[in-house]
Amino acid sequence: MPAKIKALLADNEVYLYGPIGEGGITAKAFIDALKTLNTSKPVNVRINSEGGDVAHALAIYNALNEIPTVVNHIDGLAASAASVVAMAGKTVMAENAIMMIHRPWSGAVGDSDAMRKAGEILDKFQPTLVSAYAKKTGLPDAQLNDMLAAETWLTAAEALEFGFVDEVTQALAVAASADLSAFDHVPERIATIHSQIKTNYREIQNLVELHNQFNAACSVKVEALIAQGMNTPDAVRAHLLNELGKDAKPSGAIAMNNDEPLKNFFTDATDAILARNNVLSSKNLSDGARELAGMNVVAMAEKLVNLQGTSTSLMSKRQILDRAFSMHSTSDFSHLLGNVAGKSMRRAYEDEYGSHEAWTAEVEVPDFKEQTMVQLSEAPDLQKVAEGGEYKHGSFGDAAMTFRVEKYGRLFTLTREAIINDDLNAFTRLPLAFGKSAKRKEADLTYQVLTGNPKLADGKALFHADHGNLMTGSGLSTAAIDMARQAMRKQKGLNSTAPINVVPRFLIVPAALEGLAEQILNSINDPDATNDATNTAFVRGLQLVVDPRLDEVDTGAWYMAASPAQIDTVTRAYLAGEGRPHYEQREGWEIDGLHVKARLEFAAFPVDFRGLVKNPG
């Protein structure tokens, strides 16, 4: 999961979302965020982390123990080193969250002596972990050592029983998004429980999206329903139907209530069309959806018209569709098909790989007006204060980049003819194509920043000799990578003459250099060395990003970027409150059918040159 650390002064909260340690959330970054809160009041720590570096985790744990009142909230996953952090203060765990504890582990490179030394260091961490767990649970050391050796996975109820947590709270939506794929030994019972949680969450999302599509005036949020204890599809369905029926009055048509099959038709029909076209898995379909999956679209429309109390025995296919489209209500067939199109488009957007997302940050802006992204400097250097002397005021510098979110979009049409012919393209493939197109547009605009070398607030290009981030051209090699690392580490802040020690995290190359980059990053030995010198841990730890858009400009140039969690480099901006991509629909007048509009509000812009290095090749 991507690292996210933020401090919310209003709620006195700090978030530990993502891996712990270098390349993720470091102890320093967490403690710096902690210092911005009012520690004289209860501090809330929200945890959703797969763990990481035990040394960083222990430093965070010790810092939290120095605060009078700490409440750790395990929102989704507290695994490995993250479980240690959760032992400080009071610990509450969401009902559908998961905890895992195991012995400290790490990677080591070298001869047998180096391996033994690494093992000895890890062995020294174990008693410290046991001490933290024992202080919390009261369990004997021997039992805790056995649990660590066995890699123990715990549900919230089990964690409460053993004493690892003090309280279990209502289920949270974030737990359904926890990724367990990084772990090799997840017990089957935990995997089964988590799979059911994810399945329930997806079904709840479908129900809520369908409800909001047809009832914009009284839309609801998944998180709000789950927070009220409605964490099963049946409970959510009953609640939504009850809300719909509160102000309903009898009419000539069949009412949509708990006793009529119409209440499930739209959910089942949406799932049936998506599953039939391989956009949704057919494994977890309801019986009603399975029945509808065997029908063509006209037969679905006929079933809807019948449910509304109209006989179709003497109607042609065209008449059935005309009737289904002409209901002008939340039961209109156009809403169903538009919902299918919207789901297909969003699913394709989410599934489409975008290499640009790994190394860039993102923000949301309220409107299309020109926006300013302020880059605040580091704190000024501390100065010596003589005995009885006065402290001198320091100041922060800043630089700002301006940008504006732009609108990109297209229309596509679902015609009545395509619907009568049951053309699969009409319902999923066209929306899928537009969803993928939206993600590609984002990547195009992001890499245009990298290759276009725009000017920054200081009037100089992003990559410039004066910025210290434009290297002398050379081929991709470990030596060249090391030179780029040195250049980035030596960068100075806006307000300081001392290096700020920025650490490269990503190696970004065109497709033409992908094979060479893989050899360099995956080699145990330095491929440039004439002897058997070991490749550096830094080089092997870089994350490779490959994108053919770079080949269109230069097949030899390559780049390095810092983690956006450490420093802003290039940022993606989206319009707040809009879908990614957003879609709208209306029934056609000039043609028979449904118009669907795909729209993306987006901008990509540079913020700080200090986290980027370019080698022209």
Instruction: Report pLDDT digits (tens) over 566-589.
Output: 888 999 999 887 778 887 767 655
Between the CA atoms of 357, 359, 365 and 368, what dihedral angle is there, to the nearest 10 degrees? -70
- CB burial string 286-297: b at 16+ within 10 A, e below: eebbeebbebeb
For residue 351, what pLDDT is reported? 81
pLDDT tens sequence across 358-416: 999 888 888 888 877 655 444 556 677 777 777 665 544 445 677 888 988 877 776 76
Say yes or no to pLDDT of 611 above 60. Answer: yes
- When pLDDT is averaged across residues 99-120 and rounded to a whole number, the result is 68
For residue 249, what pLDDT is reported? 44
pLDDT band at 252 (very low <50, low <70, confident <90, very high): very low
pTM of the complete model: 0.52
Q: Which residues on neighbouring strands pair with residue 614, listed in sequence order?
A: 470, 559
Lookup: tokens for 218 = 């009284």
Question: Which span out of 116-125, 192-201, 522-531, 561-570 was modeled with the highest average pLDDT?
Answer: 561-570
**Choice among 49, 56, 73, 80 that is catalytic:** 80
pLDDT tens sequence across 441-485: 999 999 999 999 999 888 899 999 999 999 999 999 999 999 999
Which CATH code is given to the segment(s) 7-186? 3.90.226.10
Question: Which span out of 207-211, 218-222, 382-386, 458-462 was modeled with the highest average pLDDT?
Answer: 458-462
The phi-psi region of residue 593 (left if phi > 0; otherwise alpha if psi is between -120 and 50; otherwise beta) is left
pLDDT band at 24 (very low <50, low <70, confident <90, very high): confident
For residue 212, what pLDDT is reported? 75
Rounded Cα distance, 244 and 262, in Å:
13
Rounded Cα distance, 107 and 115, in Å:
9
Question: Which span out of 114-128, 175-189, 336-350, 475-489 was modeled with the highest average pLDDT?
Answer: 475-489
Rounded Cα distance, 608 and 409, in Å:
30
Instruction: Look at 132-146, 218-232, 497-511 and tell me which has the smallest mean pLDDT.
Output: 218-232
Helices (H) and strands (E) in the chain, counts: 21, 19
Say yes or no to pLDDT of 606 above 80. Answer: yes
pLDDT band at 251 (very low <50, low <70, confident <90, very high): very low
| H or E segment to which residue 593 belongs | strand 593-606
Question: Are 61 and 132 in contact, with CB atoms under 8 Å apart?
Answer: yes
Candidates 511, 505, 433, 445; CA nearest to 23 is 505
- When pLDDT is averaged across residues 170-180 and rounded to a whole number, the result is 69
SS3 280: coil
Question: Are 390 and 579 in contact, with CB atoms under 8 Å apart?
Answer: no
Supply the Cα-derived Rg of the chain in whole angstroms: 28
Rounded Cα distance, 295 and 545, in Å:
44
Question: Which span out of 18-32, 586-600, 601-615 was modeled with the highest average pLDDT?
Answer: 601-615
Percentage, residues of the chain above pLDDT 90: 33
pLDDT band at 119 (very low <50, low <70, confident <90, very high): low
Rounded Cα distance, 528 and 551, in Å:
24
Higher pLDDT, 143 or 312: 143
For residue 396, what pLDDT is reported? 44
pLDDT tens sequence across 306-331: 887 777 776 778 788 777 776 545 55
* Residue 582 annotated as catalytic: no
Between the CA atoms of 362, 364, 369 and 375, what dihedral angle is there, to the nearest 10 degrees? -50
Looking at domain 353-378+396-617, what is its CATH homologous superfamily? phage-related protein like domain (3.90.1690.10)
CA distances, 131 to each of 31, 135, 137, 277, 567 (Å): 22, 6, 10, 54, 35
Question: Which span out of 73-77, 86-90, 496-500, 575-579 was modeled with the highest average pLDDT?
Answer: 86-90
Say yes or no to pLDDT of 253 above 50. Answer: no
pLDDT band at 561 (very low <50, low <70, confident <90, very high): very high
- Could you say which DSSP state residue 457 is in? T
Say yes or no to pLDDT of 254 above 60. Answer: no
Instruction: Look at 2-11, 19-28, 48-57, 453-462 and tell me which has the smallest mean pLDDT.
Output: 2-11
Lookup: tokens for 271 = 């799932």
Question: Are 262 and 307 in contact, with CB atoms under 8 Å apart?
Answer: yes
pLDDT band at 593 (very low <50, low <70, confident <90, very high): low
**CATH topology agreement for domains 7-186 and 353-378+396-617:** no
- CB burial string 32-61: b at 16+ within 10 A, e below: ebbeebebeeebbbbbbbbbbbbbbbbbbb
Task: Give me the residue label for tokens 């002409």.
Answer: 326
For residue 257, what pLDDT is reported? 42
* SS3 per residue for 145-187: HHHHHCCEEEEHHHHHHHCCCCEEECCCHHHHHCCCCCCCCCC
Say yes or no to pLDDT of 65 above 90. Answer: yes
pLDDT band at 533 (very low <50, low <70, confident <90, very high): confident
* Residue 102 annotated as catalytic: yes
Rounded Cα distance, 393 and 416, in Å:
72
Say yes or no to pLDDT of 590 above 70. Answer: no
For residue 73, what pLDDT is reported? 94
- When pLDDT is averaged across residues 25-31 and rounded to a whole number, the result is 92
One-letter identity of residue 244: L
Question: Are 528 and 600 in contact, with CB atoms under 8 Å apart?
Answer: no
Rounded Cα distance, 364 and 573, in Å:
5
* Residue boundaries of the structural domains of the chain: 7-186, 255-331, 353-378+396-617
CA distances, 499 to each of 456, 464, 493, 494, 611 (Å): 21, 18, 7, 11, 13
pLDDT band at 154 (very low <50, low <70, confident <90, very high): very high
Instruction: Look at 18-27, 257-266, 401-410, 546-555 and tell me which has the smallest mean pLDDT.
Output: 257-266
Say yes or no to pLDDT of 106 above 60. Answer: no
pLDDT band at 8 (very low <50, low <70, confident <90, very high): low
Question: Are 100 and 174 in contact, with CB atoms under 8 Å apart?
Answer: no
DSSP 556-585: S-EEEEE-TTTS--EEEEEETT--TTEEEE
Over the chain, what is the mean pLDDT? Answer: 81
For residue 248, what pLDDT is reported? 47
- When pLDDT is averaged across residues 534-552 and rounded to a whole number, the result is 92
Q: How many angstroms separate the most distant Cα atoms in the chain?
A: 100
For residue 23, what pLDDT is reported? 81
- When pLDDT is averaged across residues 237-246 and rounded to a whole number, the result is 67
Question: Which span out of 226-230, 428-432, 598-602 was modeled with the highest average pLDDT?
Answer: 598-602
For residue 224, what pLDDT is reported? 67
For residue 4, what pLDDT is reported? 62
Instruction: Look at 63-67, 156-160, 186-190 and tell me which has the smallest mean pLDDT.
Output: 186-190
Say yes or no to pLDDT of 186 above 60. Answer: yes
For residue 138, what pLDDT is reported? 94
Q: Outline where 251-386 has alpha helix (H).
A: 262-276, 287-293, 297-307, 317-325, 333-351, 356-359
Candidates 159, 179, 163; CA nearest to 99 is 159
Rounded Cα distance, 233 and 203, in Å:
6
One-letter identity of residue 383: Q
Instruction: Look at 318-322, 343-347, 530-534 and tell me which has the smallest mean pLDDT.
Output: 530-534
**Choice among 56, 102, 194, 356 that is catalytic:** 102
